[in-house]
Amino acid sequence: MKRSFISFVCAAVAFGLVGATVPSPTQADDGPAQVVVGAVLPLTGEESRVGGYFKLAYELATKEINDAGGLELRAYHRRIPVKLIIYDDKTDPATSRNLYERLAVQDNVDAMLGGYSTDLVQAQTVVAQQHQIPYVGGGGAASAIYKRGFTTIFSLLASIENLAYSECDFIEAMQAQKKLPRPLKMAIVAENTSHGRDFVTGLQNRAKQKPQNYQIVMNEAFDLHGKDFTPLLEKVKAANAEAFMSDAHLDDYITMQRQYAQLGLHHQYITYGARGPEKSAREALGKNADYIIAASWWSQLIPNEAVRAFDAKWAKAYPKLNAEWYSALPYETARTLYIAMTETGSVDKAKVVATLRHIDITDTVLPGGHIHFQPDGQINAPYVVTQNLPDNRTVIVAPAGEHTGDPVLPVPAP
């Protein structure tokens, strides 16, 4: 079923939802007093910065629904407000799983919104599947999460293998323009998680398919949340690669790139996977973040109306916080769940899952503007490839339809 976010809002106006008073949360005869939705996020611990963004995004999307009078669920012939419950897992997988169990058993949630970080999402999704509760996430992209045959799990993050392929497509375009050598000698370093392994798999697959384009001269893993990457970077230096291909979380990207610059390393192409243009990283690294390529699930620079509308909405709600992919994706995650529940017309879990399985949403903030889930529950959306440039500028360099500036390659020597 095809539904746009714009038509969803228009329907709210048509039903007289905008500006309506939220019903009192007392039990009614014609359905639940409130729709209960739960999430568990890393609000403290190593991933707390991104977890905090997820919380604000979920709250913003939920506030919009409740300000409009609640979800219009036709089975109950009335609007029903959403109660959003959020717990802190302290960036611990066991705690995350236990708290999702609490949401399922004690809070009796009607649906779940996902957390952030591969190891946390991998643990928590087990609970949603065991209790057959619809779960929509925007913070776990590793393929291992979705290859377990789970039937109630959905994700707005395209796979990390696709991230690697998106960067390879861009590299090959640059090779065709003679801006990068062919074959390109790559030094690969990736976090020791299924996220990192997917990145490596994608690069290895493309190198096998196109040996004329790629030569892998180094491939090593590193543990999350490291403090000293100097020994690893010394190996990178000795590998004499032309491209530095890293997959890292935000904190590791900042630490590694700072030490990369301190060691005087230089490559013709440098990436940290999905990381690169984040405001906190640009502020922490200064000019040492210049020329980094990233392939991300979203960019503030995407030239479409949905992105501009979200940007304005976020700036109004949180004027001191720059919109990042980890604000846009969880916002769209919550909206997708609420659209699915509205399309279903009830809180029947099996029916909501069935709606999600076939949902087709347009006019979204995602690259390509489209949400539809594959059979395994993961989306197959395109990535947007960006490059950091001097003077704190960032441009979209691929795909062609969302291009906002030309890349500077090879990376100039410092």
pLDDT (0 to 100) of residue 30 = 74
pLDDT (0 to 100) of residue 227 = 96
Q: What SS3 state is found at 185?
A: strand
Contacting residues for 277 by C-beta, under 8 A, at least 6 apart: 292, 294, 296, 299, 386, 388, 394
Tell me the per-residue pLDDT of 355-390, one tens digit each, with 9 for 90 and over: 999 999 998 999 989 999 999 999 999 999 999 999
The CATH number that domain 160-296+383-402 falls under is: 3.40.50.2300
- Helices of type H across 68-224: 93-105, 118-130, 160-176, 194-209
pLDDT (0 to 100) of residue 222 = 98
Query: Which parts of the chain have pLDDT scores under 70?
Result: 1-29
* CA distance to 136, 169, 352, per residue, from 341 (Å): 12, 37, 6
- Residue 275: what are its φ and ψ, rounded to 5°? -95, 150
Domain 2-158+302-371 identical in fold to domain 160-296+383-402: yes
Q: Where are the domains of the chain?
A: 2-158+302-371, 160-296+383-402
pLDDT (0 to 100) of residue 19 = 34
CATH 3.40.50.2300 fits 2-158+302-371, yes or no: yes
- CA nearest 140: which of 82, 85, 189, 100? 100
Burial 179-195 (b: 16+ CB within 10 A, else e): ebbebbbbbbbbbebbb
Query: Which of left, alpha, beta for 29 (phi over 0: left; psi -120 to 50: alpha)?
Result: alpha
- Residue 36: what are its φ and ψ, rounded to 5°? -105, 120
- CA nearest 378: which of 363, 362, 356? 356
pLDDT (0 to 100) of residue 28 = 43
Sign of CA dihedral 370, 371, 374, 378: positive
Tell me the per-residue pLDDT of 121-164, one tens digit each, with 9 for 90 and over: 999 999 999 999 999 999 999 999 999 999 999 999 999 999 99
pLDDT (0 to 100) of residue 3 = 56
